[in-house]
Chains A and B, each alone.
Chain A
Amino acid sequence: MKRAGTIAGVLILLLGALLLSPAALAQQEIRIGAIYPRSGSLALLGEESWRGAEIARQERNEAGGILGRQIVFVNADAPNVNAARSEAERLISQQGVQLLIGTYSSALSMAASEAAARRGVTFFELGAISDGITQRGYKTVFRTNPTASMFVAAQMAFLRDWMAPQMGKEPEQLRVAIAHEDSDYGTSVAENMRREAERLGLNLVSVQPYSSTSTDLSSVILRLRAASPDVIVAVSYAQDAILLQRQAHELGLRSKVVGTGGGHSLSSFYEALGDLAEGVFNVDFTQYEVNTAFTPGLEEFRERYRATFGEEPRSGHSLANYMGAHVLFDIIERSGGSLDPERIRASTLSYVVRPGQLATGWGVRFDETGQNVGATPLVTQWRGGKLVTVWPEQAAVMAPVLIE
């Protein structure tokens, strides 16, 4: 009797093992290819971005997965454009992955999403901002985060709706100057700015391109000063953002400054400038000094990040990817767990979330190109060494102020 019980027990265990064998599990799992630069020069923020998506995955799996199925990432490292393309192809053809996410960097995203789209595979970008990614007519490429031109739109709206009234001016009286570094990044963003400023009727008084490797920007400052702008909108990398701010002070240029992500959001900007950084505005992804009533889930994300990786998040990139991955999981759930590109597209285009309900505070509404047009960059301001969210009002932890 005792022996029969043992045999039955062993049989049940064997049967269980058979059911749980990899082949059986594979049918159950939802496999997603995750392409990020996790070595090389983009590794720091590439890894940071991946961590956000990974936390969303763990969280969703603990809550029962998608319709009871666990989510698995097939991870690929893409330190450069060639690797992004070949890794995307490898995941699709050799690993049989039907859906890809990534990538943090615009250049990598362009390559990886193209490889996916040509094979009819769905690609979700969760963090790269170049407008072109969703403008190539691919039906299977989507993006959850805001684009570069949405950054510019938020910036110019801030100038018109907050800064002009604050200075007691009509929008068309607000004198705006643009200073931008002259590589592809700065030039294309500045071109967007010029168009947007004109569209909103702002008074654009000067546009100054400069090389980001310059050792001295006094000529840029002197030209800006001659145009006597109320506000300078800057597109800068790290070293030149610091140099512009310092030399503006040295040469008595007291206009307000609004950065565009990049160098103005780095902690080294404050460390180098101290009091000179006080009051500088910046437009960026959602950061952690934000009104958490507008970003439900942000604190939980931060807790989980600390518990999983043993440190504070290094930037808002992880948060953006975390939000994007959750949106993607919801969309897969809505298509009944199917990764069929047609069904994914249909459920993506019909998926809508109002602003203020997700961890980034961004709304969700995809247009025909696959871009989430509900995502809005936020305006932050350096205050006492911290980059705090100041605009729009529902996301702000402090009211914006003009610091003389």
Chain B
Amino acid sequence: MFELTLQAIVSGLLVGGVYALMAAGLNLIFGVVRIINFAHGDLMMVAMYAVYWLFTLSGIDPYVAVLVVAPALFLLGVFLQRVVIRPIQGSSPLMIIFATVAVSLVLQNLALMLFQGDFRSVQTSYSIAVLDAGPVLVSVPRLIAFAASILLFAGLFLFLRYTYVGKALRAVAENRTVARLMGIRVERIYLLAFGLGSALAGIAGVLMMPFASAYPTVGTIYTLLAFVVVVLGGLGSMEGTVVAGLAVGLIETLTGTFISPAVKEIAYFGLFIVILLIRPQGFFGLGKGTEEVGLK
């Protein structure tokens, strides 16, 4: 029983790390640009295919591929913000939601057309490596994904807290009008936030590829999960995102293991509803009102 619990906790934390990383990118876009990006998981899907093709065609290791994939996804994010979002940014929030859903559909169907519905995986020497740590077993690529995700969070936290650009990002997240009055070039911050957010989705895709398969609709479930994590953790709060991501992973694995796999979704969506009711700004939200996402 002790071993089972310990293993469930470890497995839950490992999954949660990836959820948190997915959500970090969404949180930047959601918190700073204030748009609900339904294509977030599909950006991860694009990155997964990129890793797959780089590996299959030129033998580039998935972890090395991050050097190409992350910048490419950054540019894709900037492109989307500039070409799709900016022209309609002042219009109704619903319009923007439709636009991101359209981007999601375009990306999914492009993938379907180009690569069919097949499940694409990369096989590396470490794909199935397992670390035997006494009472628990730890998959090596999952551990790498977890560790990389925690490191990225630390970097992101420092960046947002101590650099000028990071402070500008936070300022825009808190109040874009005042930020503009203070001389921050809000349009540029939007481009940066969307680019960074996409790059983070890309890195999440890279880190998952050694143990997951790419297929056209792989992003859909992650988009949903990332939204849950962002709202639980609080808009604009990176600490909140880490805590919420790990919490969702833990809840999923523990309820799945000790109650039934059938209830694991019920458990974290249930928590999601409770948090929305009693603390809508999330665990670490920036205060009342920040949850409104410009929907008025």
Contact = CB atoms under 8 A, between A and B. Distances in A.
Contacts of A246: 128, 211
Given A217-B261, A242-B213, A250 B130 contact: yes
B11 A251 contact: yes
B203 to A, nearest CB: 17
B92 interface: no
Given A209-B261, A251-B11, A268-B119, A216 B253 contact: yes
Interface stretch (A48-56, A67-75, A220-228, A295-303): A220-228
B109 interface: no
Contact of B261 (A220, A272, A273): A220
Interface in B22-66: none
B265 A211 contact: yes
Nearest to B259: A219
B282 to A, nearest CB: 22
Contacts of A273: 121
A306 interface: no
B222 A219 contact: no
B278 interface: no
A198 interface: no
B213 A268 contact: yes
Interface string A264-300: 0010100111111000000000000000000000000
Nearest to B19: A215
Nearest to B139: A250
B15 A215 contact: yes
Contacts of A238: 119
Contacts of B262: 182, 209-211
A218 B265 contact: no
A318 B78 CA distance: 48
A252 interface: yes
B8 interface: yes
A271 B256 contact: no
B264 A219 contact: yes
A44 B283 CA distance: 48
Contacts of A27: none
A249 interface: yes
A210 B255 CA distance: 13
A276 B128 contact: yes
A272 B121 contact: yes
Interface in B222-264: 222, 225, 249, 252-257, 260-262, 264
A220 B256 contact: yes
Interface string B261-283: 11011000000000000000000
B176 interface: no
A252 B137 contact: yes
Contacts, number: 96
A226 B4 CA distance: 8
A222 B257 contact: yes
Given A209-B261, A242-B121, A271-B121, A215 B221 contact: yes
A275 B128 contact: yes
B119 A219 contact: no
Contact of B137 (A210, A215, A226, A250): A250
A219 B8 contact: yes
Contacts of A219: 8, 11, 252-257, 261, 264
A213 interface: yes
Contacts of A217: 261
A213 B4 CA distance: 24
B215 interface: yes
Contacts of B254: 219
Contacts of A242: 119, 121, 213
Contact of B123 (A215, A218, A274): A274
A239 interface: yes
A222 B119 CA distance: 25
Contact of B128 (A208, A214, A225, A249): A249
Q: Which among A209, A215, A238, A271 has the greatest number of chain B C-beta atoms within 10 A?
A: A215
B140 to A, nearest CB: 9
Given A222-B4, A242-B213, A251-B7, A208 B221 contact: no
Interface string A248-260: 0111100000000
B170 interface: no
A239 B215 contact: yes
Contacts of B7: 222, 251
A115 B225 CA distance: 43
Interface string A318-361: 00000000000000000000000000000000000000000000
A235 B76 CA distance: 39
A276 B142 CA distance: 17
Contacts of A252: 130, 137
Nearest to A226: B4
B248 to A, nearest CB: 11
Contacts of A225: 4
Nearest to A182: B262
A213 B249 CA distance: 15
A268 B252 contact: no
Nearest to A250: B139
Interface string A182-225: 10000000000000000000000000111101111111101101
Nearest to A238: B119
Contacts of A216: 11, 15, 249, 252-253
Interface in B101-115: none
Nearest to A215: B221
27 contacts: A209-B260, A209-B261, A211-B262, A215-B222, A216-B11, A216-B249, A218-B8, A218-B11, A218-B253, A219-B254, A219-B261, A220-B256, A222-B7, A222-B11, A222-B256, A223-B257, A223-B261, A239-B119, A242-B121, A242-B213, A249-B130, A250-B142, A252-B137, A266-B119, A268-B213, A272-B119, A274-B127
Given A222-B257, A223-B261, A250-B130, 16 more contacts: A216-B252, A218-B8, A218-B11, A222-B7, A238-B119, A239-B119, A239-B213, A242-B121, A250-B211, A251-B7, A251-B137, A266-B119, A268-B119, A268-B120, A272-B213, A273-B121
Interface of A: 182, 208-211, 213-220, 222-223, 225-226, 238-239, 242, 246, 249-252, 266, 268, 271-276
The 9 closest A-B pairs by CB, nearest first: A219-B256, A272-B121, A218-B11, A250-B139, A268-B119, A219-B257, A210-B261, A216-B15, A222-B257
